[in-house]
Chains A and B, each alone.
Chain A
């Protein structure tokens, strides 16, 4: 009897601890919604022909709904804020456990970072990743010196102090969630024209680091092993500056390994981008208008150059995407 009593007390304690943990951990539903993106993927039907990887330059700039509407391409953006290349690699590895796309498009902006940058950004990418060997490896590769692994296993260790900062969001989404993205694309309709940027800093090193090339090699090899075509892209964001030296590094890499590389900064006029109206933050990211233009351009590239099917002809997929498109159009016309 005594044993059951003790067991009961332990179970009650653990339950209360889990409830407390759930309450204090960020929900990413109203504020910092970028933290919810990685988790949304798991609820998706895994039928994507194209997977996009990279930082905000993919999730703000590429709309899978437009790719489908324009060319019948099914795609998903597994992008997050300041996603670093080792995180892209482990996300790709994890994705391949669910599905094998025909094409992986990697945005090269993150190649400039050769070490973990910030715990806050790490959290946005890693918190909602499902537990797996890939998540463990991603955490270990991403942690800044001040972080510790246990705080990812037990978020209560990291977030307990939020108990005094709880908002309505924490209660509203204690057990529920809402849709944040459309296949990983985060809609932003604001308009803020490009004006000026800070002065261009001098580069100390023009070559990307060995660590960065190591992970780029791993991504390339993983794609090759799975018969996936790897495509490199640079979104047409005007800041942070994409140095000519970076451009040459990517061009050399692409040439060496026979990869296609598209720098959309160079064809912004052809895409029809107007930096007075097509960006929401003065040139760092495209808004809905700009992302739609870029995605139409991208749809044409993918349709023309890669062996992708028009999945609008597949009744099952069409049914799923018709519903998605309806919701998407409702949202963009709000």
Chain B
């Protein structure tokens, strides 16, 4: 009995309960910029936007701010008086993910680059790394939407 306990304990310790602990997150490298979700948003880094919009929350305090650039749009939220990046949305096919995926590519390429370890929720392919997600929408096998999202924001 004691031996069995030691064996089980050893397996648990060696496998870490089967759950891989990782701090890896999705980030975007574009035009010599590395954009991380949840990093502080500053105009110093991104420059002046083409368009700015604000959307208020229903009932709760806080304003969602959106900054539109040539090929992507950044949405932010405010936490502890700091404006942080909540999502990065691709506006066209002139921008690629850090791994090389763009709007207009097909699902096969997506699987080659990111594998098949995705969740399919309401026809949205969701890849997860820590608290960040890469959300991809395809229509007839062709990718029509790519967005990096901070989970639960």
Q: Which residues from chain A sit less than 8 Å from chain B, CB to CB?
A: 32, 34-35, 55-56, 81-82, 114, 120-121, 124, 195-199, 201-205, 209, 239, 281-282, 284-285
User: Are A32 and B60 neighbours in the complex by a CB distance under 8 Å?
Assistant: yes
Provide the bound-state CA to CA distance between A85 and B51, in Å.
Answer: 34
Bound Cα distance A114, B122 (Å)? 9
Residues of B in contact with A (beta carbons under 8 Å apart): 51-56, 58-60, 64, 66, 68, 73, 75, 89, 91, 122-124, 137, 144-145, 147
Bound together, the chains give a CA A276 to CA B147 distance in angstroms of 32
Q: Which of A55, A56, A205 is within 8 Å of B123, CB to CB?
A: A205
Q: Which residue of chain B has the shortest Cβ distance to A55 in the bound complex? A: B58
B102 CB to closest chain A CB (Å) equals 14
A205 to B122, CA, bound (A): 7
Could you list 13 examples of A-B contacts with CB < 8 Å? A35-B59, A55-B58, A120-B60, A121-B59, A195-B54, A196-B53, A198-B68, A199-B91, A202-B144, A205-B122, A284-B55, A284-B56, A284-B58
Contact A195 B58 (CB under 8 A): no
What residues on A are CB-neighbors of B66 within 8 Å? Answer: 198-199
> A225 CA to B7 CA in the complex, in Å?
63
Contact of B54 among A204, A209, A282 (CB under 8 A): A282
Residue among B53, B59, B124 making CB contact with A124, cutoff 8 Å: B59
Known: A114-B122, A204-B124, A209-B122. A198 touches B58 (CB 8 A): no
Q: In the assembled complex, how far is the CB of residue A30 from the closest CB belonging to chain B, in whole angstroms?
A: 13
Query: How many Å lie between the Cα of A199 and that of B92 in the bound state?
Result: 12
Question: Which A residues lie within 8 Å of B58 (CB)?
Answer: 34, 55-56, 81-82, 121, 284-285
Contacts known (A32-B59, A282-B56, A284-B58); A199 close to B73, Cβ less than 8 A? yes
A59 CB to nearest B CB, Å? 10
A198 near B145: Cβ-Cβ < 8 Å: no
Tally of contacts, chain A with chain B, CB under 8 A: 63
Tell me, in angstroms, the Cα distance from A204 to B144 when the chains sit together. Answer: 9
Interface of A is mostly: loop
Cα of A95 to Cα of B95 in the assembled complex, Å: 52
**Top 8 closest pairs, chain A to chain B, by CB:** A202-B145, A81-B59, A204-B123, A198-B66, A34-B59, A196-B53, A281-B56, A204-B137
Please determine whether A56 and B59 come into contact, CB atoms closer than 8 angstroms.
yes
- Whole-angstrom distance between the Cβ of B149 and the nearest chain A Cβ: 11
B123 in contact with A282 (CB, 8 Å): no
Q: Are A197 and B122 in contact (CB under 8 A)?
A: no
Inter-chain contact B137/A202, CB cutoff 8 Å: yes
Given the contacts A204-B137, A282-B54, A199 and B60 also touching, CB distance less than 8 Å: no
Q: How far is the CB of A167 from chain B (nearest CB, A)?
A: 14
Contact in complex: A198, B75 (CB < 8 Å): yes
Report how far A330 CA is from B118 CA in the complex, Å. Answer: 57
Docked complex Cα distance between A140 and B64 (Å): 30
Residue of A nearest to B91 (CB): A199
Complex CA distance for A32 and B60, rounded to whole angstroms: 7
Q: Please determine whether A199 and B89 come into contact, CB atoms closer than 8 angstroms.
A: yes
Q: How far does the alpha carbon of A205 sit from the alpha carbon of B66 in the complex, in Å? A: 24
* B52 closest partner in A (C-beta): A196
B89 near A201: Cβ-Cβ < 8 Å: yes
Partner of B122, one of A199, A204, A282: A204
Name which residue of chain A comes closest to B145, CB basis: A202
Asked whether B55 lies within 8 Å of A198 as measured between CB atoms, the reply is: yes
A233 to B64, CA, bound (A): 27
Most buried by B among A124, A197, A198: A198
Instruction: List B contacts of A121 (CB < 8 A).
Output: 58-59
* Distance in Å: Cβ of A60 to nearest Cβ of chain B: 9
Who on chain A is nearest to B67 by CB?
A198
Provide the residues of chain B in CB contact with A203, threshold 8 Å: 137
Nearest Cβ on chain B to A144's Cβ, whole angstroms: 10
A201 engages B145 (CB within 8 Å):
yes
Complex Cα spacing A239 to B53, Å: 12
Tell me, in angstroms, the Cα distance from A234 to B64 when the chains sit together: 23
User: Quick one: which of B53, B58, B60, B123 has the most chain A CB within 10 A?
Assistant: B58
Instruction: Tell me the bound Cα distance from A119 to B89 in angstroms.
Output: 26
Could you tell me if B55 and A282 are in contact, using CB atoms closer than 8 angstroms? yes
Residues of A within 8 A of B68 (CB): 198-199
Contact, CB under 8 Å: A195 / B53? yes
- Please indicate the chain B residues that have their CB under 8 angstroms from the CB of A55 in the complex: 58
Distance of A56 Cα from B68 Cα, bound (Å): 27
Shortest CB–CB separation between residue A258 and chain B, in angstroms? 29
